[in-house]
Amino acid sequence: MPVFPSGFVWGAATAAYQIEGAVHEGGRGENIWDRFCRQPGRIRDGSSGEVACDHYRRYAEDIALMGDLGVGAYRFSIAWPRLFPAGKGPLNRQGLDFYDRLVDGLCEAGITPFATLYYWDLPQELQARGGWTNRDTIPRFVDYACAAAERLGDRVQDFILMNEISVAAWRGHATGIHAPGIADARAFLAATHHMNLAQGEAIRAMRGESSRWRLGSALNLMPVDPADDSIGAADAADLVDAFWNGSVIDPLIHGRYPEIVAGRFQPFVQEDDMERIRQKVDFIGLNHYSRAYARQDPDQPLGVGMVAPPDDRPTTAMGWRIDGGGFRETLMRLKEDYGNPPVHVTENGAAFDDIVDADGRISDPARIAFLEEYLSALGQAIEAGCDVRSYFVWSLMDNFEWAEGYTKRFGLVHVDYATQKRTPKDSFGWYARLTREGRF
């Protein structure tokens, strides 16, 4: 039974496109997900984030829920196209007003805001000019990041520059299952490098403006195992590990790409880039869900792919293996290979097929068991010396799960999308006890 250090912060996380809705409100511009969702066959249930959880209008109710949950911190994201509808140009005051109100509401409730600046919602106008495959997107991001931080940074201290560069690059530009839906190796390499560089440049610029801000990146890191005993699968696992984990964290911490892929990035790397990407961050945000399995896949642009777990061990509704050991392993790797940085676990959680019973109750023992397993692993990692400061559960409420639409529910709060009624699940009560007692 883990006991967490005093001062350890319990939080909950969401992202703008997954919860806000109101895509035409307040002068917001179109983003790549608005566009992607309109393409037939892209989203499992044909849905989009157009309405989502209507959080844009219901944010006060949602802050009240956070109060009931007892969280000390809330991680949300700022939608770039609300502030700069076309990705650049004059700041859209109305868009900023929403985050002003949100942050004020959080501060009044005594909840520390953690703001993510890029959570996959690139303004479509920038995509029209190549998006992350175009180096010109970098200064646009720097301008946006500085403007957002300048306006909200009197109340927000913790900024997460980017959410999961490797996922945005891999799923958006290699497998193409996420926006902008590109499946091309060069696009993947360029997008990865340019996002890495945009992050580095924005950190440098923000450091110049305030020493008050704590800056970090949310990385999706996971152990990558071969899908079977073949040599091909072992090689595939090394390559996927290098692309998925190494190509984001190695440049940031060590200023270089992993050796086995460095040559492939070379055409996109200009003089000084690597020094600009390498930054002293205040924390690493760790998003972790599962362990990955890799094999050769000639049909994929990178020649490798990720597949379902090879054995019959339990998985979540996403088909992701439940494996607290992989979480501990990932935390230990941060400690051993990357200098034991301060870590915020910026996402962890699970989707299950929740059922609302006749009394309107959502009993979700599988989610509670998942959290117990992963938090026990976290407790072990802390005991082994990992410098973990907080844990943000994914997610506060059910929301738009990207290519899966509304078919997957990750929330501690159930959302009835027809009525927007929020109902805390049993796991909400479980987590509320944890936030108050610091143990389970």
Which residues belong to the active site? 164, 347
Q: Is residue 163 near ligand FCB by the rule CB under 6 A?
A: yes
The token pair that represents 349 in the structure block: 């959680």
Q: Which residue, 15 or 117, is less far from ligand FCB as judged by CB?
A: 15
* Minimum distance of ligand FCB from residue 289's CB (angstroms): 6
Residue by residue, what is the 3-state secondary structure of 201-243? HHHHHHHHHCCCCEEEEEEECCCEEECCCCHHHHHHHHHHHHH
Q: Which residue, 59 or 402, is less far from ligand FCB as judged by CB?
A: 402
Looking only at residues 222 through 241 of this chain, which bind ligand FCB when binding is defined by CB under 6 A? none
Q: Is residue 114 near ligand FCB by the rule CB under 6 A?
A: no
- Residues 32 and 180: beta-carbon distance below 8 Å: yes
Pairing of strands 224-226, 73-77: unpaired
Say which DSSP state 387 is in.
-
Q: Is residue 121 near ligand FCB by the rule CB under 6 A?
A: no
The token pair that represents 67 in the structure block: 């109060």
* 169, containing H or E segment: helix 165-173
Looking only at residues 274 through 303 of this chain, which bind ligand FCB when binding is defined by CB under 6 A? 287
Q: How many residues bind ligand FCB (CB under 6 A)?
A: 12
The token pair that represents 194 in the structure block: 């340019």
Q: Distance between terminal CA atoms of the chain?
A: 6
Among 220, 247, 348, 435, binds ligand FCB (CB under 6 A): 220
The token pair that represents 124 in the structure block: 């479509």
Q: Is residue 20 near ligand FCB by the rule CB under 6 A?
A: no
* Minimum distance of ligand FCB from residue 13's CB (angstroms): 8
CA atoms within a 13 Å half-sphere pointing along the CA-CB vector of 224: 22
Among 111, 167, 304, 382, binds ligand FCB (CB under 6 A): 167
Q: Which residue, 18 or 247, is less far from ligand FCB as judged by CB?
A: 18
Residue whose C-alpha is closest to residue 121's, from 191, 194, 36:
36
Looking only at residues 407 through 426 of this chain, which bind ligand FCB when binding is defined by CB under 6 A? 410
Q: Contact region for ligand FCB (CB under 6 A) — 163-171, 209-217, 325-333, 357-365?
A: 163-171
Contact residues toward ligand FCB (CB under 6 A) are: 15, 18, 163-164, 167, 220, 287, 347, 394, 401-402, 410
